[in-house]
Amino acid sequence: MNSSTQNLKNMVEELLASMPEIDYQEENNIIRLCKDKAIFGKIEKDKIFLLSTSGRFIEITQSTLEDKDAFLKTATLAYWFASGQIQTDTDVLRLID
């Protein structure tokens, strides 16, 4: 793992400190973010991606990374989707209300 990837992993660990029991699985230069066996994010090619409700990994913007609350919210939604707790954007709105 190169130093840039390690720095990103350290940043993610810090941003997700309030989200317990995250497993960081490293394989083929990709770090997968897992919780309860659900993969909800990854670090690949020096970029952070989180699962969206469309079922695709989307790159996280620098502004989201700079806002701890925004990143934690996005990561939590990604985990909920990956674990099957939500399936659509409507489910997200239902949970928030």
What are the distances in angstroms from CA 59 to CA 19, 75, 97?
Answer: 20, 12, 27
Q: What is the pTM of this model?
A: 0.86
State the pLDDT at residue 72. 94
State the pLDDT at residue 91. 64
- Overall domain count for the chain: 1
pLDDT tens series, the chain, 97 aa? 788 888 999 999 999 999 989 999 999 989 999 999 999 999 999 999 999 988 899 999 999 999 999 999 999 999 999 998 777 667 666 665 5
Write out 32-80 in H/E/C secondary structure: EEEECCEEEEEEECCEEEEECCCCCEEECCHHHHHCHHHHHHHHHHHHH
Domain hosting residue 36, numbered range: 3-96
Residue 14: give its domain's CATH number.
3.30.1460.30
